[in-house]
């Protein structure tokens, strides 16, 4: 028995083809628009916010007038020169925008960590340095001061290492009575305080 298929409607075929083309073009346009939006979003991402320029320095360079870590280090070297071991009194100065902290590294006068009174002399050096600039023009909220001295590592090698570390808030330093403060009193003013157990034995 033969089956006779109905004749196709040309008009229906044309309409179907047109609908398919419109649908395909719509998908392509939509995909391109998504890509464009993504490219614009990537191009519009903000770059890292640049650091605010330091305020201009007032007058000659001093620990009080310094406005950058580099200038502060230079000013402190002018005041304190070299330590008793012939090393620069400040070998490192840096400022971290977050958490708004200044960091100074001071080689200590004592090379022997077991020297009597080494801890007091280390704190005395920290006190003298802090007193010269804590009320100055440079922007900072915290200051981390590390004292270094020769120390033996695990392999026995002698190298300059951190032996004392103290962090202070600027607000607490401003409230100190610097005229009557003794070196050992600086420990009470520190927000954080650490000392090598061999220092001062």
The arithmetic mean of pLDDT across residues 9-30, rounded, is 56
Residue 86: pLDDT over 50: yes
What pLDDT is recorded for position 112? Answer: 83
| pTM for the structure as a whole | 0.71
**83 cis-preceded (ω within 30 degrees of 0):** no
- 169 vs 52, 69, 122, 149, CA distance in Å? 22, 17, 19, 25
Domain layout of the chain by residue ranges: 11-48, 69-195
What does the alpha-carbon distance between residue 199 and residue 117 come to, in Å, rounded to a whole number?
9
Q: Which residues pair with 192 in a beta bridge?
A: 167
Provide the pLDDT confidence category of residue 37 given band limits of 50, 70 and 90. very low
Provide the pLDDT confidence category of residue 34 given band limits of 50, 70 and 90. very low
Residue 134: pLDDT over 50: yes
pLDDT digit string, tens, across residues 149-198: 998 877 888 899 999 999 999 999 999 999 998 999 999 999 999 998 76
Give the distance from CA 41 to its chain's centroid.
29
- Cα-only R_g, the chain: 34
By DSSP bridging, strand 158-169 and strand 192-195 are: antiparallel
């Amino acid at each position: 028995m033969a089956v006779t298929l109905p004749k196709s409607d040309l008009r229906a075929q044309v309409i179907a083809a047109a609908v398919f083309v419109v649908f395909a073009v719509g998908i392509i346009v939509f995909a391109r628009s998504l890509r464009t939006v993504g490219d614009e979003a990537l191009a519009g991402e903000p770059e890292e916010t640049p650091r605010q320029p330091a305020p201009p320095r007032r007058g000659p360079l001093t620990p009080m007038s310094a406005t950058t870590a580099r200038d502060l280090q230079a000013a402190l070297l002018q005041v304190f020169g070299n330590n008793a071991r012939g090393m620069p009194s400040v070998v490192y100065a840096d400022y971290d925008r977050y958490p708004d902290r200044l960091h100074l590294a001071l080689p200590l006068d004592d090379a022997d960590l077991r020297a009597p009174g080494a801890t007091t002399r280390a704190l005395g050096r920290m006190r003298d340095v802090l007193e010269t600039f804590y009320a100055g023009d440079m922007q900072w909220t915290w200051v981390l001061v590390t004292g270094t001295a020769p120390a033996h590592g695990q392999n026995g090698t002698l190298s300059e290492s951190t032996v004392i570390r103290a962090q202070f808030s600027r607000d607490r330093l401003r409230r100190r009575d610097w005229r009557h403060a003794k070196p050992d009193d600086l420990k009470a003013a520190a927000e954080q305080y650490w000392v090598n157990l061999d220092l001062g034995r």
